[in-house]
Structure 1
Amino acid sequence: MTKTLLALIPAIALASCAVIPKVERSDGFAMIGETTLVGSTKVRPDALIEDSRCPMNARCVWAGRVIVEATVMRGGTFETRRFTLGEPSDGLMLDTVEPGRMTDTQLEAADYRFHFSVAR
């Protein structure tokens, strides 16, 4: 019994040191802090800068916009860039932001899901 317990100690110690890699998406969708693959480029949304979209249950004169700050990783280089919903930027585009806004709901940054695509 003692030998069995002594044999397990190194295994337990090694298991506690294991690093669990963060899951990387490959479908273009990502939440704040998640990385997704868009073509051969990795994109990680870091911060929601603006969401002035017209709520879905309201009438507005201006449709509004969404701006997201993201880290773009290409060929070993990293750069921070701002993406505006629907506007191409250096071959990439933020084309979808979920969920839509509602007048009676306050969204937190963690509620958002962004979709990036290769701009055509």
Structure 2
Amino acid sequence: MKTALALTPIALLAGLSACASIPPDSDGIARAGIAQTAYVNGPKVTPLAVMEDSRCPVRTQCVWAGQVRILARIETGAGSQTTEMTSGKPVQVMNGSLELVETRPDRVAGAAPIASTDYTFGFRFTPGA
């Protein structure tokens, strides 16, 4: 019984880490992995799933650079919505635009597919005028 009670605070802290909002870095990009929430200077974004990763692998030549599509929950003061986000294509949110600007790790030719839990996404919010 004592062991179970001793582990409970650790389990609670582990659960909170996935729920905590991650603020933007000094470059203005807020990064989060699957099921993590990033605070992007206004909205909060939680990547839920990778729908497509067709990026050109590093050190290869491709006709098309490819793209990343994710399913994400976007939270604002007005509520939340689940939407598809595509790299390089801003989504209108509140009085500005939210963009998926970075996906890590890079794809590598001949390597195993990237596990969804290994992804980190970078988001930038640009307020409107």
User: Which bracket does the TM-score occupy, shorter chain normalised?
Assistant: 0.7 to 0.9
Residue matched to 2:39: 37
In terms of Rg, which structure is larger?
Answer: 1
Correspondence list, 1:17-28, <5 A: 19-20=12-13, 21-22=16-17, 23-27=20-24, 28=30
Q: Deviations over 1:13-54 (max 9, x none)?
A: 598378432332112100000001001211000000000011
Residue matched to 2:107: 101
Give, in whole Å, the separation in 2 of the partners of 1:64 and 1:72.
24
The one-letter amino acid of 1:97's match is T
Q: With structure 1 as the length reference, what TM-score do the two structures score?
A: 0.81
Residue matched to 1:16: 8
The offset of 1:108, in angstroms, is 1.0
Choose between structure 1 and 2: higher strand proportion: 2
**Structure 2: stretches of 5+ with no match in the other structure:** 25-29
Q: With structure 2 as the length reference, what TM-score do the two structures score?
A: 0.75
Q: Is the 8 A contact 1:86 1:95 kept in 2?
A: yes
Taking only aligned residues, the RMSD between alpha carbons, in angstroms, comes to 2.2
The offset of 1:57, in angstroms, is 2.2
Identical pairs, percent = 32
The one-letter amino acid of 1:26's match is P
Q: Deviations over 1:47-93 (max 9, x none)?
A: 00000011112211111110011000111511001111111111100
Q: Is the 8 A contact 1:30 1:113 kept in 2?
A: yes
The one-letter amino acid of 1:113's match is T
